[in-house]
Amino acid sequence: MAYKEQLKKVGEYEYELPKTGKMLVPGKIFASEKLMEKIEETAIQQVANVAQLPGIIKYSLAMPDLHSGYGFCIGGVAAFKLDSGIISPGGVGYDINCSVRLLKTNLKSKDIKNKKEIIHSLFRKVPSGVGRGGKLKLSEKELNEVLKEGAQWAVKNGYGRKEDYLHTEEQGKLQGANPDDVSQRAKARGLPQLGSLGAGNHFVEIQEVEEIYDKNIAKVFGLEEGQITIMIHCGSRGLGHQVASDYIKLMEERYDFSHLPDRELINAPVKSELGKKYFSAMAAAANFAFANKQLITHWVREDLKHYFPNFKADVIYDVCHNIAKIEEHEVDGKKMELCVHRKGATRAFGPGRKELPSVYRETGQPVLIPGSMGTSSYVLVGTKKAEQVSFGSTAHGAGRVMSRHEALKQQRGEKVKEELSRKGIEVESGSWKGLAEEAPSAYKDVDEVVKVSDKVGIGKLVAKLKPLAVEQEK
């Protein structure tokens, strides 16, 4: 069945996949014609597959950055009823709470005269790379506290301040996390890695606010043109990956996958014992990721004070990209508690939501959409429209157009670094392979992705951030 051919254009930037076969709801994709050209058939099929899962409500959704993933497409969003619905590791992803934090600083672009030296110093200060350990040596007891307390554990132990986690989704601590539901193997993988970036598209980037689109909201967020910001993108490292692997195996053993359109959509009922245990372990991994970014924030502040003695960096916001959350949404005029999966998607709540920090309750939450290496990143603001049409969700980044394997065949890391250098962007990476895999050409046009979010109204543009220097994997 050719799923792409079935799509019906129902708005300038909206496509509907009709409910056919075993689909319980239609699919809906937010994209422009330009983005649709490069969207794989397999990604659209995954939208249709998710629409067959028990308890799904309204639509199986895909954001403008969608591409093929494990089970769910990346950019996939789906909400499930609590009494008849499911929770699926494939709807969260292996890198649980892969997420982005944005810091606003008291520096201006004219202050950054030695980009190369500064990014080299950060590269030494913030550990990164596959299997690369952090600088902390935790006991298992301390790790269990991290899994329960998240970013709040880090602040309590002297790595930052209360305002950091107050400006983080869920205040940097998902409720319901029980370390006993995380396997010893997952803990062993995470134990040496807290406070490190990891590999792939994870990074620390020094940026300049290049353009402001909404002065009033930018003022609330604390952004102005010419200001230096720092973006941190990382997740739950080996611990989150192992949690996903463990529960995929447990669910396959308990529930079997023969009835599913794709075995990667293995799941458990939300309210089942195994469903609750996965939710708990996922929350623990998410808390590890929150603590991870809090520690990296601390290392960044420490390091940049060597160059700028009066350096200040405040957290604007910190948002999840791979998570399942229990949230209240209005569906057909009725308020419902739902299990919302966001796989490579950003929460985009509008004004008035109690979940938001008080400072953002009148504007809506900051939405952070990083570009690919060497391209702009964007700050948007969540909207009531997003709550109505996408369960309060929008895109999470540019989204890949080619696999890492394909990028390696087409690119050389040395050439990527040269091209970025010509654009005035300093890159520090310990791996030519990593640079090639994350080349800008491997990704969609982030400008087009955020344009769709803005035009559809599921995230309104606030500011554009231009990269100056980036630390990628060692």
Q: Are 69 and 36 in contact (CB under 8 A)?
A: no
Q: Which tokens go with 463? A: 């500011």
Where in the sequence numbering do the catalytic residues fall?
Answer: 396
- Compute CA distances 58 → 50, 91, 165, 389, whole Å: 12, 17, 33, 9
Which residues neighbour 177 within 8 Å (Cβ) at sequence distance 6 or greater?
Answer: 147, 148, 150, 280, 281, 283, 284, 286, 287
- Residues 214 and 236: their CA atoms lie apart, in Å, by 33
- Residues 384 and 389: their CA atoms lie apart, in Å, by 9
- Residues 20 and 269: their CA atoms lie apart, in Å, by 24
Q: Are 32 and 452 in contact (CB under 8 A)?
A: yes
Buried b (16+ CB within 10 A) or exposed e, 126-145: bbbbeebebebebeeeebbb
